[in-house]
Structure 1
Amino acid sequence: MPKNRAAATAPPRRAMRLAALGVLAALVLVGCTAPAPAPTPGEADDRPLVVTTFTVIADLVSEVGGDRVRVESITRVGAEIHGYEPTPGDLRRAQDAALIIDNGLNLEAWFEQFLENLDVPRVVASQGIEPIAIAGTTAPNPHAWMSPVAAESYVETIRAALTELDPQGAPVFASNAAAYTAELRALSAELTAAIEVVPESSRVLVTCEGAFSYLARDLGLDEQYIWPVNAEQQSTPQRIADTIRVVRDRDVPAVFCESTVSSDPMLQVAESTGARYAGELYVDSLSEPDGPVPSYLDLLRYDLALIIDGLTS
């Protein structure tokens, strides 16, 4: 049976959860940006094509580029980015690009070989980021975009790349980048304030993959995961046992998994500890426009809402 989590805490979990829900409603209702208008049907679109490796970077490029660029992502909504296998169609689309932007930090294991077949300029969006090492290694954790603070560097890199591609658009790119950076800073302040409703003892983020190191750092959360980056096959009994021990020792009320990987190992953790499986967090992919995370800012707000709801329930 699930263990009794009715330990006396002040304020009680129900009150904290109600407070959290108020914060979450404010986060989720903060405006969503409208997509750039499409060309009139039948009208030639001669804007430069920028191809990105996944949907999150595509959204950032769209925000900075506005109407002056076309943006396409190689990987589709819901795709697992680490071990993606490009198709001939991906290669054909990328051949028409004026610029390709990838994340770097060893995220896209397939990308270097993909790039060998293309004669297209490339920009690494994470350049300038000081990476956090994957626990127990010297390898960088590639998920730096999960920090709105680090995302400011992504935006500046994208602005500079688009300015080089389209010098006449420089004022537009500068204005869009400045406005979006202001949104990122406001969101960072929102997230920091929102996490205050979570009790200190519950500030442990337990996930399947170690994809939240940058966000956990920003929010002062301890991090526990079953496997590191790009290593779902390392979901061993020992790793699951280690996670179970942390959840029990810290009395963690809820655990999570990423949307693009199997949740089965985490469901085992939840069953063994009595913690609630609180749902899927988005990291590597946005959703369709009518889904829960159609933009990068929506993704961060959605994830924090789910995390706070889980840790205060």
Structure 2
Amino acid sequence: MFRTLRLVTCASLLTLCGFATAASAADLKVVASFSIIADLAKNVGGDRVKITSLVGPDGDAHVYEPRPADAASLEKANVVLVNGLQFEGFMSRLIEASGTKAPVVEVSKGIEPLKAEEEEHRHAHGDHGHEGHHHHGEFDPHAWQSIPNAEIYVKNIADAFCAADKAGCPTYTENSKTYLAKLAALQTEVKATIASIPEGKRTVITSHDAFGYFQHEYGLKFIAPEGISTEAEASAADVAKLIDQVREDKASAIFVENITNPRLVEQIARETGLKVGGTLYSDALSGSDGPAPTYIDMFRYNVNTIKNAILGS
């Protein structure tokens, strides 16, 4: 009797061992170019994926300098996720240097990109914007600032994971369904929050032009002293123009971003009497102890920060 029991236990252990090996063998090694894509990928991949984000929380992908460890991560990757739309200037050199054989997936594929030129009226400067255009190409790459676009990102990520790990496909499909439902609920919430801001007060200033898709989707007007890239520096004439524009457009609030230098915004605030309404998260999440550690937290935090600054609550 005793021996039989022992055999049963052993057999169960072997079965469990078998499962453990299968699960860990399915660890899909994923490299994401920056923190926002890494978070979307985490929601799709769950326990089956191991995600490395090259540009971390509060990091600026516009000026990121890759490290040797990044090439090593890429070399071992099964899937590489990038935004595309020429957002990650550093990526193509890095991919080449790493010799990675992994598919490089542009998660923005299928969105309707906004032309950088279409946004020119939002700039408070002359030819300065062209530097931003030159840096990022023809289109504004910050497409994740619209939740419907993030839903397209999620579908692209799920497809990429299914292609790389067929056995995990049902898991990825299920996870993405759950997460897409959360994004749909967030979209409803964001629209309701914006609707509570009086129409005449929906103009705000940010330190760089990362909110074109937000403006397009939700009807807030953003003006920025810098171009689409944080590499561009605003000149004194640009700042003077912006200050005139603030007075003309009756901007309701001004914000710094977690990836840019706050000095310029503080100067504009001083000269226009606008209060700095807080920090917005544009191109990077916060650390886990900050207010925007996930994409959903980031969106909710940004929209509430804007509303509170405008309505003074």
Instruction: Name the SS of the counterpart of 1:233 in structure 2.
Output: coil
Query: Partner residue of 2:190?
Result: 191
Deviates more, 1:183-192 or 1:117-126: 117-126
Query: Aligned match of 1:84 in 60, 64, 74?
Result: 64
* Contact 1:226-1:240 at 8 Å conserved across structures: yes
SS of match in other structure, 1:256: strand
Deviation at 1:291, TM superposition (A): 1.6
Q: Which residue of 2 aligns with 1:131?
A: 113
Inter-partner Cα distance in structure 2 for 1:232 and 1:51:
24
The one of 96, 100, 103 aligned to 2:83: 103
Does structure 2 retain, via aligned residues, the 8 Å contact 1:104–1:142?
A: yes
Is residue 173 of structure 1 aligned with residue 172 of structure 2?
yes
Which deviates more, 250-259 or 122-131? 250-259
Contact 2:256 2:280 in 1 (8 A): yes
User: What CA distance in whole angstroms lies between the structure 2 residues aligned with 1:147 and 1:266?
Assistant: 24
Distance 1:69 1:232 in 2: 33
Counterpart AA for 1:56: I
For 1:1-313, what aligned pairs fall within 5 Å after superposition? 45-46=24-25, 47-117=27-97, 118-119=99-100, 120-134=102-116, 135-136=119-120, 139-313=138-312
Distance 1:271 1:78 in 2: 25
Amino acid at match of 2:110: G
Q: Which whole-Å CA distance do the structure 1 matches of 2:59 and 2:222 have between them?
A: 24
- Deviation by residue 1:235-273 (Cα, 9 ceiling, x = unmatched): 112221222122212322310121111011111111111
Q: CA deviation at 1:231?
A: 4.0
| TM-score, length-scaled by structure 2 | 0.83
Q: Is the 8 A contact 2:202 2:252 kept in 1?
A: no
Structure 1: gaps spanning 5 or more residues: 1-43
CA distance in 1, matches of 2:79, 2:153: 15
Using the TM superposition, name which of 225-234 and 86-95 deviates more. Answer: 225-234
Q: Aligned pair in 2 of structure 1 residues 232, 311: CA closer, same or farther (>3 Å)?
A: farther
Q: CA deviation at 1:45?
A: 4.5
Q: Which structure 2 residue ranges, 5 or more long, are not aligned?
A: 1-22, 121-132
Residue-by-residue CA offset, 1:78-136 (whole Å, 9 max, x unaligned): 21111101011111122111111011111111111111122222101111111112234
Q: Distance in 2 between matches of 1:45 and 1:78?
A: 31
3-state SS, counterpart of residue 100 of structure 1? strand
Q: Does the CA contact (< 8 Å) of 1:252 and 1:311 recur in 2?
A: no
Helix, strand or coil: the match of 1:209?
Answer: coil
Equivalent position SS for 1:82: helix
CA shift in 2, pair 1:231/1:284, >3 Å: closer
The two structures, once aligned, show a CA RMSD in angstroms of: 1.6
**What is the alpha-carbon distance in structure 2 between the residues aligned to residue 158 and residue 242 of structure 1?**
42
Measured against aligned partners, the alpha-carbon deviations of 1:221-246 in whole angstroms (never above 9, x if no partner) come to 12211112114433112221222122
Q: Report SS of the residue matched to 1:127.
A: coil
Q: Deviations over 1:131-170 (max 9, x none)?
A: 1122346711111011111101000100100000111111
Q: Distance in 2 between matches of 1:131 and 1:289?
A: 30
Tell me the secondary structure at the aligned position of residue 62 of structure 2: coil
**Cα distance between partner residues in 1 of 2:187 and 2:240:** 34
Rounded to whole Å, the distance in 1 between the matches of 2:150 and 2:85 is 14
Counterpart AA for 1:60: L
CA distance in 2, matches of 1:147, 1:238: 31
Question: In structure 1, how many angstroms separate the alpha carbons of the residues matched to 2:265 and 2:231?
Answer: 12
Contact 1:286 1:296 in 2 (8 A): yes
Separation of aligned partners in 1, 2:260 and 2:107 = 24
The separation in 2 between residues aligned to 1:250 and 1:176, in whole angstroms, is: 44
